[in-house]
Amino acid sequence: MFSLKGKSAVITGGGSGIGKAIAVLFAKQGAKVYILELNEQSAKQAVAEINQFGEAQAFSCDVSKQDQVLATFSKIGKVDILVNNAGIAHIGNLEKTAEADFEKVYQVNVKGAYNCLYAAIPLMKKSGGGAVLNMASIASVVGIADRFAYSMSKGAIYAMSMSVARDFITDGIRSNSISPARVHTPFVDGFIAKSYPDNQEEMFEKLSKSQPIGRMAKPEEIAALALYLCSDEAGFITGNDYPIDGGFIKLNN
């Protein structure tokens, strides 16, 4: 079950964290993985790891630049699966979100996903269908303190996922999104070290306990859900968002 043999999978931000976990698992299941990354070094490291057991290729690409994205997808040629995972965070409420901060988050998180969709959908139509998976967040459906710009961007991801599902269902293209709560990634460790250098363990525990289940998710747990949604076994699933949140949305009231 859940074989991706013969499929071509594009994963943005696949050099670390959730994106890397998805890239590794998809390759293990037989997909040819294409990692689009701004961080060339992390992309090369991920590809080297994957190529020990599977097949992967890295492209240095700024997803916010449409010309770069179109050129990259043109090189790839065939796209069966697109995982829009690349994204950045911003901490601050409305009053603490400068125009430059808002614009930066929009360019990467929203326009970046749009650019990849814009490039991938025609290729999927040409080959008879495909699966789109966009990385949203619990912040797209509930209010998270001091995450104004980030929440905006993830709300847009959710909306784009549903729109693509509606518009291209007759082309054999499925589109869904995943909404994780906090996931333990190098980004989280770096954020805690930078923001709370004197009480890192305490803050890690506090952030972990904000999920009712009592811990953060593992990147591999997000990847497992991604695999299902992009596999043929999920062929009847489109136009849905899947919280993977340790009970955050339903049990935090």
Taking Cα atoms as reference points, which of 250, 244, 245 lies closest to residue 225?
Answer: 244
Buried/exposed code over 3-29 (b: 16+ C-beta within 10 A; e: otherwise):
ebeebbbbbbbbbbbbbbbbbbbbbeb
Q: In this structure, what are the phi and psi dihedrals at residue 144, rounded to the nearest 5 degrees?
A: -115, 130
Active site residue 150: yes
Catalytic residue among 34, 114, 150, 158: 150
Distance CA 209, CA 89 (A): 20
Mapping DSSP to helix (H, G, I), strand (E, B) and coil, where does residue 142 land? Answer: coil
Of 182, 168, 169, the closest CA to residue 249 belongs to 182
Catalytic residues: 150
